[in-house]
Amino acid sequence: MLNHPLTQYMFCSPNEGAAALVVCDAAVAHRYTDRPVFLRSTEVRTRRYGAYEVHTPSTGVEHVPAPTVDAARAAFEKAGVAPSEVEIAQLQDTDAGAEVIHMAEVGLCADGEQPGLIADGATGIGGRLPVNTDGGLIANGEPVGASGLRQVHELVHQMRGTAGERQVPGRPRVGVAQLYGAPGVAAVSVLTR
């Protein structure tokens, strides 16, 4: 037990790692693959004054949305995609509770609906909204700085149908990746095929 009810293995392990991504113009993507995945948007936001942050010594009286809320809204708007169209998500899960919090912050469900989605199996590989199909940070560790590209890597494999034993049925068409880091910086990317 580290912080009731969280135990040691409900937190990810920070570690080292690297990632690289090959990107080309959408007009020529078919020259390199018959299954292109398109990065429709990436948005980064920082917390606004009054937004809760773990390192904040106090919180404001009024509710101010977390930076993930702002980043997600901007990313979906820029991509021309609604959160309801998302078929697979990779969400920051440095601890077991973060994934659940970010499901609502990204707009994949209303706050409070998360326990029901999890209990019904909706977030599992065979569910209607698979989340962290590669096990997320808890399974992979957190190579600080490379976490976002690990998420994109998983989304691309899922959307191409090359994820092997973790493959989501039906090859998802719309995916979202979300990162959050202290002190209050969030990024959200929307991908489509």
pLDDT digits (tens, 9 = 90+) for 133-186: 999 998 888 887 788 899 999 999 999 999 999 999 999 999 999 999 877 899
- CA torsion sign for 125, 68, 54, 17 is positive
Q: What is the mean pLDDT of residues 12-33?
A: 86
Share of the chain above pLDDT 70, in %: 95
- Structure-token pair, residue 131: 């989340």
**pLDDT-based confidence at 21, cuts 50/70/90?**
confident
Q: Helix-strand-coil percent breakdown of the chain, rounded to 5?
A: 35, 20, 45
Find, among 192, 90, 68, the residue nearest to 140 by Cα. Answer: 90
Q: In this predicted model, what pLDDT tens digit does every residue of 74-118 receive, in sequence order?
A: 999 999 999 999 999 999 998 888 999 999 999 999 999 999 999
The pTM of the full predicted model, rounded to 2 decimals, is 0.91
- Closest-CA residue to 176 (of 46, 43, 66): 43
**What pLDDT sits at residue 93?**
92
Q: What is the pLDDT of residues 40-54, one digit of tens each?
A: 999 999 988 777 766
Q: 181, 176, 89: which is closest to 143 by C-alpha?
A: 181
Please check whether residue 105 is in contact with residue 93, taking contact to mean a CB–CB distance below 8 angstroms.
no
Handedness of CA 133, 139, 141, 142 (dihedral sign): positive
Tokens (6 digits) for 56: 């904040």
In the chain, which ranges are E strands? 14-15, 38-46, 88-91, 142-143, 174-181, 185-192
Q: Which CATH number fits domain 38-192: 3.40.50.1580, 2.60.40.10, 3.40.50.10490, 3.40.47.10?
A: 3.40.47.10
pLDDT above 80 (res 119): yes
Q: What are the structure tokens assigned to 101, written together?
A: 């919090």
